[in-house]
Chains A and B, each alone.
Chain A
Amino acid sequence: MASSQHVLLSPAELAYLHASLSLTPPIRPDGRSPTQFRPLVAETGILPGTNGSARICFADGTEAIVGVKAEVERTRTRHDFPSLDEGAEGDDDDLEDNQHDVVKGDNDWVEMTVEIPGYRDDDAGTVFLSAMLSEALLADGEFTKRLWINRRFHWKLYLDILLISPPLSYPLPLLSLTTHLALLATRLPRLKSEGDEDPLFDDDWAAAAYLYPRPAAKKGSKKTTSFATPTARPPVTLLVMAVGNNIIFDPSKEELAVADVALAVSVGESSNPSSSTAMDIETEETKGHHNLRILSVRTIDPPSRLTPPGIPNASNSAYGANAAGAKDTEKKKQQQEQARTAESEAVEGVWKAPRGGAKPLVLAALVQKVLEKGGVADEVLDALDGVDLN
């Protein structure tokens, strides 16, 4: 679907676009720098009927909303999974001690649907998008633990991701950012009951706890909280592509149409730094450093492979190739050879859909560029901190 949708550009236009993106520095059609994102409008808490919601609107007119709904569900006891009911035999004191260890999550507790107008929900592209988003969310196994209520009950979280505009560009970054914000804004009612009782909740919505807890210091002192904020947060999936020697972030549809390789990289942030010494260093460092984790990487089939090729003059009959004049066999042979090179080798200024894959070094460079300190992932997470979560 989305990545392979047709782009209405002629081979000549594609060749021009490819050439201008391969320059150093690249010249992008909308004048952005290689790592610059499209401007966007973001807001959270737009849907009062949900536990958390967000809306993001990109400058190119694509818009997505995400609603998160939570339901209490009875946990099915799994007889084949002994670690879940380990504490059952122990006496009560023991149980209290184990309480923390018992917290277990299950990937079935999260249900994600992606809806893109004009596409069936079982379309390969839609399924690919939702697999990618949920894979990143569930990768570290920490997220589902947040949905645990007690040994008998858990929250079931429904994440509904809606693209409400036609997919003008590959919607992955948009959907991922919107989901991120919606999850940050998600609140679950405060639990009043204790232990393994049937859960009873506080009906005061103001007392509801955030799914991703905030630090105690709140909006009053924004600047100082910047290094207190990194408790864990939901993952962000970024789209990166390479053209020639350039690495370009957040490609538009036209740019993606000439990509040599496109990669979706999911990045998360962990709350607990690996060691205490590392933490000391981090606090000294400037703000904007995040304790990043790489959660998933997927190549995306670039739509450039489906673009129509241009025809070089050597094999274009309008320019004398295979013309009636070529009588003698010698000349014919030469022309055939020319045609063959035209098929296998690139002719400057003539567009040819890329063949083969990407060099491992290029792929490594793409991932490196996302994750490096002060790189794009850091920047995006910083920018998302600026969104007011109400």
Chain B
Amino acid sequence: MADRRRINGPVGTTIAPIYDDAPEQKSQVAMATRSRPANVIRKMYLKTGVTPSASGSAYLEIESSGNGGSGLKLSCSVHGPRALPRSTPFSPHIILSTHVKFAPFATKQRRGYLRDPIERDLGTHLEAALRGSIIADRWPKSGVDIIISIVEGEQDREISKAQGIEAWDTMNALSGCITVASAALADAGIDCVDTVAGGVAALVQDAGDDAAPSIVVDPIPAEHEKVLAACCIAYLPTRQEVTNLWFKGDLPASDMDVYTQLVEKGIQASKSANRVLVDCLNETVG
């Protein structure tokens, strides 16, 4: 006799059907286009000292693209420097541990509570970016935890249907993470050689007339037909040094100029973000 106590689901996986709007209607909805000049980043709001219980904290919000999408909202808290547990071996430097987590509801596709590979990868990038800026040998035998939660990911409700856009969004998320973590470290009073900030530049192909690919800073992938390559930079402006570089894309090796320009634009974006960061820190002090 069949088991009547439970109703088993179908064996294979299925996807609930989604009925598209009529195609004519779809073409009428114009794709969002970039309204900013190519070398201007979006407005951002940064505030330090939002979590009283942490030794340093910051909150960053980046303006949304403006057509029903949401901007990036990040909150970072820094715990420490504090003594390491007795069992850990001696370390002549401060031990950084970075933890980046998307809130389960932050993106279109729900994220689990466990960190997935993308989040771990972001954590490693962030660690590399921050380790260059911290003066680590002033705190031997101690550790600091940097915890970032991405409360709301960047996404466009209309367009981010197609594949591959999320991959580019992680770069924007990383640049936000670097900026907010830097503000939180300053708020915690941890000595740094400089304030590090993140910036993204991308080589994009715009829709319509077969325009040549152009380089824009702080790209919103949904606003462009195709992103060919992107680059995320963590930059120390007073030392003029790059602590983290992440380039991804597909460029012929013969035009190294494009690559160099992309890195330069990334640095420029990072400098712009750094201005916001410095203003925010000045406000707190003053």
Contact = CB atoms under 8 A, between A and B. Distances in A.
Interface string A256-269: 00000001000110
B245 A127 contact: no
A131 interface: yes
B123 interface: yes
Interface of B: 13, 15, 17-18, 20, 91-93, 115, 117-118, 120-121, 123-125, 127-128, 131-133, 135-137, 161-164, 167, 193-194, 234-236, 239-254, 256, 259-260, 263-264, 267
B225 to A, nearest CB: 13
Contact of A371 (B123, B243, B247, B253): B253
Contacts of B132: 305, 355-357
Interface in A100-138: 106-107, 122, 124-125, 127-128, 130-131, 135
A371 B120 CA distance: 29
Contacts of B131: 301, 305
Contacts of A202: none
A297 interface: yes
B150 to A, nearest CB: 17
Interface in A293-311: 293-301, 305-309
Interface of A: 76-83, 106-107, 122, 124-125, 127-128, 130-131, 135, 139-141, 263, 267-268, 270, 274, 291-301, 305-309, 353, 355-360, 363-364, 367-368, 371, 377
Contacts of B253: 267, 292-294, 371, 377
B207 to A, nearest CB: 15
Contacts of A356: 132-133, 193-194, 236, 239, 241, 243
A76 B244 CA distance: 38
Nearest to A305: B131
A305 B194 CA distance: 16
26 contacts: A124-B127, A128-B121, A141-B164, A292-B252, A293-B251, A293-B253, A294-B252, A295-B248, A296-B247, A298-B246, A298-B247, A299-B243, A300-B128, A301-B127, A307-B92, A309-B137, A353-B93, A355-B135, A355-B193, A356-B132, A359-B240, A360-B240, A360-B267, A363-B242, A367-B256, A377-B253
Given A122-B120, A293-B251, A305-B136, A358 B18 contact: no
B234 A357 contact: yes
B133 A127 contact: no
A364 B123 contact: no
B263 A364 contact: yes
B165 to A, nearest CB: 12
A107 B162 CA distance: 12
A290 B163 CA distance: 30
A174 B252 CA distance: 24
B256 A308 contact: no
Given A82-B20, A127-B120, A293-B252, A358 B241 contact: yes
Contact of B236 (A267, A297, A357): A357
Given A305-B93, A356-B239, A128 B263 contact: no
Contacts, number: 149
Contact of A357 (B91, B137, B239, B263): B239
A295 B249 contact: yes
Contacts of B246: 296-299
Contacts of B115: 122
Given A128-B124, A356-B132, 12 more contacts: A80-B161, A107-B163, A107-B164, A128-B120, A131-B121, A139-B248, A139-B250, A294-B250, A297-B246, A301-B124, A306-B93, A368-B256
B36 to A, nearest CB: 24
B241 A299 contact: no
A106 B162 CA distance: 11
A124 B20 contact: no
Given A107-B163, A305-B136, A360 B259 contact: no
Contacts of B167: 107
Nearest to B166: A107
Contact of B20 (A79, A296, A377): A79
B242 A353 contact: no
Contact of A135 (B93, B235, B248, B267): B248
Contacts of B249: 139, 294-296
Contacts of B17: 79
Contacts of A377: 253
Contacts of A141: 164, 250
A359 B241 contact: yes
A130 B127 contact: no
B241 A357 contact: yes
A146 to B, nearest CB: 16
A80 B18 contact: yes
A140 B226 CA distance: 12
Given A309-B137, A364-B260, A124 B242 contact: no
A141 B227 CA distance: 12
A357 B237 CA distance: 11
A130 B245 CA distance: 18
Residue among A77, A80, A135 with the most chain B CB within 10 A? A80
Contacts of A122: 115, 120
A252 to B, nearest CB: 21
Nearest to A355: B193
Contacts of B164: 107, 141
Given A76-B15, A80-B18, A122-B120, A299 B244 contact: yes
Given A299-B128, A305-B93, A360 B242 contact: yes
Contacts of A80: 18, 161
Contacts of A364: 256, 259-260, 263
Contacts of B240: 359-360
Contacts of B123: 124
B20 to A, nearest CB: 7
Nearest to B248: A296
A357 B243 contact: yes
A291 B18 CA distance: 43
